[in-house]
Amino acid sequence: ATKPLAGRVAVVTGAASGMGAATALRLAADGASVALLARRADRLEELVRTITSAGGRAIAVAADVTDDEQIAAAAKRVAAELGRVDLLVNNAGVMLADPITDLRADQWQRMIDTNLTGVLRVFAAFLPALVESAEHGTADLLTVSSLGAKVTFPGYSVYGATKAAASYLSQAVRGELAGKGVRVTAIEPGLTRTELADHVDHPELSAQLDGMFEAVPALAAEDIADLIAYTVSRPKHVNLPTVMILPTQQA
């Protein structure tokens, strides 16, 4: 039988670990050619080997979403090697937690540059291809936002603000692109076991996160990949604008 995503050309940012890696694996298994973007080239190369040895097609494109030139160069390489992109998963992100009174402007800036400006930079690099793809078939633009876009958590004010912006942007862009036939989706996950929490350097908030992972069975990165694979394999006229996905026991 033909695979559900056969013939499609996907880009997944943040594909070096967690949800991005799981999503890249899944899209490739479902038949898409996949460009893997993140900073850690070794991780990407390893994932390419895994996908290729399973009979799939993938390329590793080491790039930093906070760098204009690297992202523009990445888009050129993807077009040259895989063809016109029709599926973008804007997933790269960082979560750095600190009480707002600590005034960690360095961490705020990193989250804004990655989770918001980075998302916009990647939009800009691939949007023309998506619009053109929609004229010829199906085109999907997904952003991995967060439950934090909707709910506030102490210590996560700036992270939540970047995710609220990402969800807002996705909804607004959906309105602008609806007439062009590009499907736009924001995915808002709850607690998911990945490397995300490893970057929290505030001891109490880090311990609190560990406690949350002990308290409820969290989602796996593969659960998010499964949702994304479902979303992009609907018939062309069906769009899921915003999807929240939570562990059953997360209140």
In three-state secondary structure terms, 217 is coil
Tell which positions 171-230 bind ligand NDP, by CB under 6 A.
Answer: 189, 191-192, 194-196, 221
CA distance 124 to 166: 14
Q: How far is CA 97 from CA 20, 143, 192, in A?
A: 21, 21, 16
Query: Of 4-12, 26-34, 39-47, 51-59, which segment contacts ligand NDP by CB under 6 A?
Result: 39-47
Q: Between residue 71 and residue 100, which ones bind ligand NDP under the rule CB under 6 A?
A: 91-95
Instruction: Tell which phi-psi region holds residue 141, choosing left (phi > 0), alpha (psi between -120 and 50) or beta.
Output: beta
CA atoms of 136 and 121, how far apart (whole Å): 24
The distance of closest approach from Cβ of residue 205 to ligand NDP in the complex, given in angstroms and rounded to an integer, is 14
**Min dist. Cβ of residue 67 to ligand NDP (A):** 8
| Residue placing its CB nearer to ligand NDP in the complex, 17 or 157 | 17
Q: Which is nearer to ligand NDP, 45 or 132 (CB)?
A: 45
231 is an interface residue for ligand NDP by CB under 6 A: no
Q: Which residues contact 237 (CB under 8 A, 6 or more apart)?
A: none
Does 167 interact with ligand NDP (rule: CB under 6 A)?
Answer: no
In the complex with ligand NDP, the residue whose CB is nearer, 10 or 15, is 15
Q: β-strands 9-13, 139-144: how paired?
A: unpaired
Q: Is 142 in the site for ligand NDP (CB under 6 A)?
A: no
CA distance 47 to 251: 34
Token digits for 11? 């880009």
237 three-state secondary structure: coil
When binding is defined by CB under 6 A, the residue of 3, 4, 31, 39 that contacts ligand NDP is 39
Binding-site size, ligand NDP (CB under 6 A): 30
- Whether the CB-CB separation of 224 and 244 falls below 8 Å is answered with no
Q: Are 227 and 188 in contact (CB under 8 A)?
A: no
Binders of ligand NDP among residues 103 to 132 (CB under 6 A) are 114
- Residues tagged active-site: 159
We find the least distance from the C-beta atom of residue 237 to ligand NDP, in angstroms, to be 28
Contact positions toward ligand NDP, by CB under 6 A? Answer: 13-20, 38-40, 43, 64-66, 91-95, 114, 144, 146, 189, 191-192, 194-196, 221
